[in-house]
Amino acid sequence: MMRIAVVGAGWAGCVAALTLARRGHALTVFEAARIAGGRARRVEHNGRTFDNGQHLLLGAYQRTLAVIASLHGRDDESALQRLPLLLQTAPRLRHEILVRAPALPAPLHLLVALACARGLTISERAATLRWAGLVLRGKSPVDESWTVAELIAAQPAAPRDLLWSPLCVAALNTPAENASATVFVEVLRRSFNGSTENSSLVVPRADLTELLPAPALREVATLGGELCLGAPVESVSRAGLAGASVRVAGVERRFDAAIIATGPQHVARLLPWDTSGLATNLASLRYEPISTLHFEFAYVFPGVDPAVPMLMLDGDPGQWLFWHQLPNGHQRASVVISAHHREEPEAAIAAATLAQLQRSYQLPAPIWQRLITEKRATYACTPVQRRLLQALPAQIGCIYFAGDWCVPELPATLESAVLSGERAAARLQGDFDA
């Protein structure tokens, strides 16, 4: 049994702590915020609770779904709803797209979905099918240095601009002109090869904190672990040959090992003594923001289909729209603006986004609205940054790292965070066993 500190109770830290607590180790989890979840968390504001951003899970998020199932029981229907792949634009947009996957074995479901896609001409559908087939079967070589824009350059304009570019921003939170083609192709293969379920849309019913981080921490506590939320860690250092020391509230605490599971921007601050270049490299990372605008309506005119959880918008300024039915009968519209670098005041962004919704729906004035901007929502998933992250060490002595940035073969997602937590736990367990 080892005494292990986990610094950061985002999804990666919570999964690392849970995995190691289940192996019988004594865990202490430190988190600066009072609500667990990191960049995918519940926000409480004036009596309302909502998520800081919209995180749609895919059926391909196998590790995330497995951990959620282990926390909520095999019957995780109360936590998640699975829907067949459906890409649909909001009503009355200039270019309407509808891609609906039928219940067929993969990748046939995607091929039929593309062949029947509404909003593309026959020749556009044929070109899209041919290209998707080549990419999914690995017959189309992808250079590590390519951007997604270069990858899809030969596609006709409609599928390129209305399908692949929005999917790239949704999956990688990086515009196609900068995004890594290798990572995008990896996402497509994981989603559309293998089982049909991999491409299903998984909609959380619980808030993001209650979906995984909070139940994970509750289990860590019942297994004898210690939870310190609202406790910003000042530094993490190596202690002797085998040990790590965590400084919190002006006090040093000694552990056998530590896992740093914070966003990359905090690592340099936690390791001021590090000379390996890790902190310097992480400090040079560039990020992409995500803004989410939540509007609450006391009622909504007809036109909102509650069976469609997610709709594509035209990108002016919002890209995706999620409708939520609230228990009090109100409806909430959450609009996602990925890679949103604008500097306009909140009121201007809100007005532009509401005007965008009004082009699709007859809406009353919202009774409440809130803009949440995560300035460093994800690292920019570019070919250069992917190479930089791949070269970083996974540990320094008995200080291990976890976080979406530790799995550069995937974009920064819930799945890469969960995977990184499991990998850090496995590495630490392996060193302990050895």
Q: Which residues bind another protein (CB under 8 A)?
A: 28, 34-36, 78-79, 81, 203, 205-207, 210, 214, 217-231, 248-249, 251, 253, 306-307, 309, 323-327
Whichever of 12 and 339 has its CB closer to another protein, that residue is 12
Q: Three-state SS for 406?
A: helix
Whichever of 54 and 173 has its CB closer to another protein, that residue is 54
Task: Compute the distance between CA of residue 412 and CA of residue 284 in angstroms, rounded to an integer.
Answer: 17
Q: How far is the CB of 166 from another protein (least distance, A)?
A: 22
b/e map 148-185, b = 16+ CB within 10 Å: bbebbeebbebbbebbbbbbbbbbbbbbbebbbbbbbb
| Residue type at position 136 | L
Task: Compute the distance between CA of residue 188 and CA of residue 253 in angstroms, rounded to an integer.
Answer: 44
Task: Compute the distance between CA of residue 211 and CA of residue 310 in angstroms, rounded to an integer.
Answer: 19
Q: How far is the CB of 107 from another protein (least distance, A)?
A: 25
The DSSP annotation for 76-120 comes to: GGGTEEEE--EEEBPTT-SS--EEE--S--TTHHHHHHHHT-BTS
Q: How far is the CB of 352 from another protein (least distance, A)?
A: 26
Q: How far is the CB of 204 from another protein (least distance, A)?
A: 9
CB 51 within 8 A of CB 39: no
Q: How far is the CB of 234 from another protein (least distance, A)?
A: 11
Task: Compute the distance between CA of residue 207 and CA of residue 189 in angstroms, rounded to an integer.
Answer: 29
Q: Three-state SS for 372?
A: strand
Task: Compute the distance between CA of residue 284 and CA of residue 291 in angstroms, rounded to an integer.
Answer: 23
Whichever of 30 and 379 has its CB closer to another protein, that residue is 30
Whichever of 302 and 327 has its CB closer to another protein, that residue is 327
Whichever of 226 and 316 has its CB closer to another protein, that residue is 226
Whichever of 116 and 229 has its CB closer to another protein, that residue is 229
Whichever of 98 and 388 has its CB closer to another protein, that residue is 98
Whichever of 242 and 326 has its CB closer to another protein, that residue is 326
Q: How far is the CB of 88 from another protein (least distance, A)?
A: 14
Q: How far is the CB of 37 from another protein (least distance, A)?
A: 11
Q: How far is the CB of 308 from another protein (least distance, A)?
A: 9
Task: Compute the distance between CA of residue 341 and CA of residue 356 in angstroms, rounded to an integer.
Answer: 18
- Selection from 320, 291, 298, 295 nearest residue 308 by Cα: 320
Whichever of 229 and 352 has its CB closer to another protein, that residue is 229
CB 148 within 8 A of CB 180: yes
- Selection from 37, 40, 62 nearest residue 52 by Cα: 40
Looking only at the bridges linking them, the beta strands covering 320-325 and 310-312 are antiparallel
Beta bridge mates, 288: 378
Whichever of 231 and 352 has its CB closer to another protein, that residue is 231
Whichever of 81 and 429 has its CB closer to another protein, that residue is 81
- Pick left, alpha or beta for residue 38 (phi over 0 → left; psi -120 to 50 → alpha; otherwise beta): left
Q: How far is the CB of 254 from another protein (least distance, A)?
A: 11
Q: How far is the CB of 232 from another protein (least distance, A)?
A: 9
The DSSP annotation for 297-324 comes to: ES---TT--TT--EEE---SS--EEEEE
Q: How far is the CB of 173 from another protein (least distance, A)?
A: 24
CB 113 within 8 A of CB 200: no
